[in-house]
Structure 1
């Protein structure tokens, strides 16, 4: 048995897909509607692919197959690609899937990268037009999600044009992640969806500007993001280093500014993701380095109406108000 195998319960009629192996001979099987249940390995049997093919042939009407229309061809080709899909399990948990909507079989390796260390999560083969569950993640831990690393090859029997290996590193921001909802291919469910082979497998990395262009697409889809609990930042965020860490006396200037900028970016991402109209950052005057870096980043960001110095009577040029579109 392998992760992704379709199985049937020996003492029931349920069918599902193996999503992970547990301790003491238990496996987790995801049945209909994405509900995972633990069962003993000896209580299930793998469903052979030939079985589905056989019954599909038996049930097919004995009539000639009509010619494929141009609209059908276009629809099939539009759905092709390799995707990372996060499906909502409940208001606190998402299930991550690696979706292969191509004509190739794909051996893959998926892991996490944090602090220059790599941790493998899963590896295997996902067949053409199939998918595999990677892991479950908690929305409450979104800020701590490490960088997700995906590597894969494209393979099929016979002659074909060789494609370059797929390698992607995904580090998510709340401001774009929770607005990326679309219908996931093959899963046929609303999901926070990211195409990994945009521009062709092994081509240029995903263009963040193009991702942003898609975040408002599919407005008729169910708004899953609104049902997820995601905390708003305060309307005023104090970036003075002593407010951010107790260990500032052991940090050099570069480390301090790096922490302040990260806090600024995280708070602004959450403000955009949760629909805030404005947020104020108190950065102090100092030598102007932090203020200048913040203003430089704001000037290049989409989703910002404008920004300006704020509360001058109290902070002089030590605070910046950001108005969000």
Structure 2
């Protein structure tokens, strides 16, 4: 039986059907399932064509097929997050019927390459690393790996994938991929963490697992070659006119450490979690500006019960003793802010 890309087909041995998106070999085609919108490799003998595409090279879609769920390139009035092709991603997807920042999360593996992925998945919860699942994933498709309840998300510290690439016939060997993603639970409480992509209806938290060509080239460089590149870069920079550091440091940087200024929702976070996140933000800013002598940073911590202020001052004395600290302008901040001058 002749089956072409774009043909609308029905399954012979089960209910449902879909659209043919690719011809895999003489006996097998890829079908975009109309029910769950996953691409499924299917033998031609198990299909019947109910509407021909007339030999066109592009798949024909019914209007009730949400285009944003397919892995076929598409155009939308809203600009989605830019996604390179020939890449592998994982995504946390909120479940339907929940507010984004209160929802359990479904973890998906996305194969946006022309190769079959042979994968193993591991996660670390409360310090315990466990193998969860393994399998293979066809080209240009996605699969749900597992679901996490809200409490599990707070206990989840890492997600790890080990991946091999396979392609029948002519193939240029790719290095196996091992990616360990550190999970920050606070991201699941921020609407801004969820972005539009070409892969899902919902906004998701997307992580790139694959390595770009440039990153791969850097991995292949020897230490000697890296040092030579650095020397050449430093030599090219010597002729540049230095910037006026005084001007760069003159502006006062305000950092609001109130938790509602840092995240959109505190649902599920304990007071200890909130304090830890606020202090992590403080350390992040101090590390970023610790080389800019004369830089003034105002950390707004509020008055409250004084816990954050005390912890912040303790950290300044313990880790950043060389920098000058003082209460910020009472007129502007009351007693609720501390100014640090980088030395």
Larger radius of gyration: 2
Q: State the TM-score, normalizing by the size of structure 1.
A: 0.49
Q: State the TM-score, normalizing by the size of structure 2.
A: 0.47
